Amino acid sequence: MDRILIRGGSRLQGEVQVSGAKNAALPIMAATILCDEPVTLENVPNLVDIDSMERILCCFGIETKREVGGIFRVEPKTLRWFEAPYDLVRKMRASFFVLGPLVAKSGQARVSMPGGCAIGRRPVDIHIKALEKLGVEIAVSHGYVEAHGLELRGAEIVLDFPSVGATENVLMAATLAKGESVIRNAAREPEVSDLANFLVAMGAKIEGIGTDVLHVQGVQSLSGGAYRVIPDRIEAETFMVAGAMTGGDVTITDATPDHCTSVIEKLRQIGARLDVTDGKIRVQGPDEFKPVEVSTMPYPGFPTDSQAQLMALLTIAKGTSIVKETIFENRFMHVSELVRLGADITIDGNCAIVKGVPNLSGSPIMASDLRASAALILAGLIARGETEVLRVYHLDRGYEHIEAKLSALGANVERFRRGQ
Ligand code: UD1
């Protein structure tokens, strides 16, 4: 397995360009199942999770083609099989997003129960309940979800929790249902809005995009066309934290600053200087970091996907910070590894109490999930000496060229391939 070696102590400086958003590209790729004509997606990042979704589309008979520069072409009309097997779905929870579009388009779908990052139980009950409201018949047996529904009917759907994936799954299905659907307590994450905007560009009728009530007027078919995926806010936020915690001066380009408001605000509270202009975020780190309290929340609250990275910074703040995780029940796996680097963190239920220490010291550490891996790399940037991060394959699911991007900013980061 690959590992990354970081020699800490460099101050990051310069410009870094953000890639397309993985969490927007994945549901949009799933949504191409609904289309009748070819689709061209732009700004699709080159990541392992994108490969996984491409493989799933191919296993339905759909033809795909990747081109340099983030172009992803799909010919959906060759759809002829309806099963997403365990071997593919277990690698990534987002594979489950094909259930809604597949059953809406073809009347049937068989999708393995999902896997993905080990950050909690992550059930799919909200997805299933919402699809059942549209008239989909669902049975779970032998680890597979089997869905049937020849004619989906619009319905009033109230989600128990604004789940990102469940909102996306039912939104896709509702576009081809007969009549109107109203999705209440919908997730408002920018990636949900990007999916909705893609569907509208293909001919869907959706109102309330960006709010927690989505009105969908079912249409007979969706066409095709070109669509550009939004920038990755979590990648942008990872570089913002990296710039701040190394006392650096980093400008993030090709971003959508409006999507990063809660993290920008938190970094300002910590003492960093952030200047936001059209599509650019400049971060200048302070000499000393103030402790903060932070609680993860659905958008527009502080994103759970940036919690681990911020915690890496707080390990060296002057005082005690409290980090509360309210979205996932097991998202503190980076804590034990940060402690190996010398951080002083204790966990109390869903709170991590982070007592700032003067510095971290490098050691071998193990990545456990996607965003935890990013946090460990960031910690390595400020740790004295060498930090070796093992199991970095998690990182490749969500960050495009991260070592190259960090190196270009002046970090001393090197990847060793398996066996090196
Ligand atoms: C998406 C993101 C992930 C992010 C998360 C929360 C993608 C590919 N992934 O994941 O990076 O961390 O949103 O912003 O977009 N839940 C249930 N039942 C369900 C569905 C969810 O109990 O049927 C729970 C989950 O276990 C979790 C919480 O709801 O505790 C949030 O999950 P959800 O918003 O669905 O996250 P994902 O769509 O899986």
pLDDT of 338 > 50? The answer is yes
- Using the predicted structure, report yes or no on whether residue 267 has a pLDDT greater than 90: yes
Tokens, residue 66: 């990747």
Where are the chain's structural domains?
3-19+231-416, 22-228
- Centre of ligand 1 from the C-alpha of residue 320, in Å: 29
Q: Is 117 a catalytic residue?
A: yes
For residues 383-398, average pLDDT: 92
Question: Residues 73-104: pLDDT tens digits?
Answer: 999 999 999 999 998 888 888 999 999 999 99
- Residue 39 and residue 63 in contact, taking contact as beta carbons nearer than 8 Å: no
Residue 302 sits at φ, ψ, to 5 deg, of -70, 125
Query: Can you say how many angstroms the Cα of residue 49 is from the centroid of all Cα atoms in its chain?
Result: 10
Cβ of 296 below 6 Å from ligand 1: no
Peptide bond into 85 cis (omega under 30): no
| 22-228 to CATH, choices 3.65.10.10, 3.40.50.2300, 3.30.590.10, 1.10.10.60 | 3.65.10.10
Cα–Cα separations (whole angstroms), residue 143 to 128, 139, 391 = 14, 10, 27
C-beta 127 within 6 A of ligand 1: yes
- Compute the distance from residue 371 Cα to the ligand 1 centre, in Å: 14
DSSP 123: -
Pairing mode, strands 108-112 and 144-148:
antiparallel
The answer to whether 135 and 128 are in contact (CB under 8 A) is no
Q: How far apart are CA 19 and CA 40, in angstroms?
A: 17
What is the Cα Rg of the chain in Å? 21
**The domains spanning 3-19+231-416 and 22-228 adopt the same CATH topology:** yes
User: How does residue 119 score in pLDDT terms, banded at 50, 70 and 90?
Assistant: very low
Give the residue-averaged pLDDT of 236-244: 98
DSSP 8-class letter at 298: S
Query: Does position 362 have pLDDT exceeding 60, yes or no?
Result: yes
Q: Which of 158, 84, 165 is nearest to 122 (CA)?
A: 165
Pair 148, 107: CB distance under 8 Å = yes
pLDDT at residue 297 tops 80: yes
Q: Which residues, other chains included, contact 105 with Cβ-Cβ below 8 Å and sequence gap of 6+?
A: 33, 34, 79, 176
Cα 361 to its chain centre, rounded Å, is 29
Class (C level, CATH) for 3-19+231-416: alpha beta
- Cα(163) to ligand 1 centroid in Å equals 5
Q: Bridge-partner residues for 292, per DSSP?
A: none
Tokens of 260: 């990063």
Give pLDDT, residue 90: 86
Give me 144's structure tokens.
């597979």
Binned at pLDDT 50, 70 and 90, residue 121 comes out as low
The whole-angstrom distance between residue 63's C-alpha and the CA centroid of its chain comes to 25
CA of 219: how far to CAs of 147, 173, 181, 200, 214, in Å? 21, 11, 11, 11, 15
Mean pLDDT, all residues of the chain: 95
Average pLDDT for residues 129-148, to the nearest whole number?
94
Give nearest CA residue, ligand 1 atom 17.
123
The protein residue whose alpha carbon is closest to atom 33 in ligand 1 is: 163
Calpha distance 228→403 (Å, rounded):
25
The candidate with the shortest Cα–Cα distance to 164, out of 255, 106, 93, is 93
Per-residue pLDDT tens over the stretch 22-33: 999 999 999 999
Looking at residue 275, its pLDDT comes to: 97
pLDDT of 142 over the 90 cut: no
Residue 309 CA: distances (Å) to CA of 30, 155, 160, 204, 222: 29, 40, 29, 37, 39
Lowest-confidence range among 235-249, 261-275, 360-374?
360-374
- In 3D, which of 345, 346, 383, 336 has the Cα closest to residue 363? 383
Q: Determine which residue's CA is closest to atom 38 belonging to ligand 1.
A: 165
- Residue 160, ligand 1, Cβ within 6 A: no
pLDDT value at 115 more than 70: no
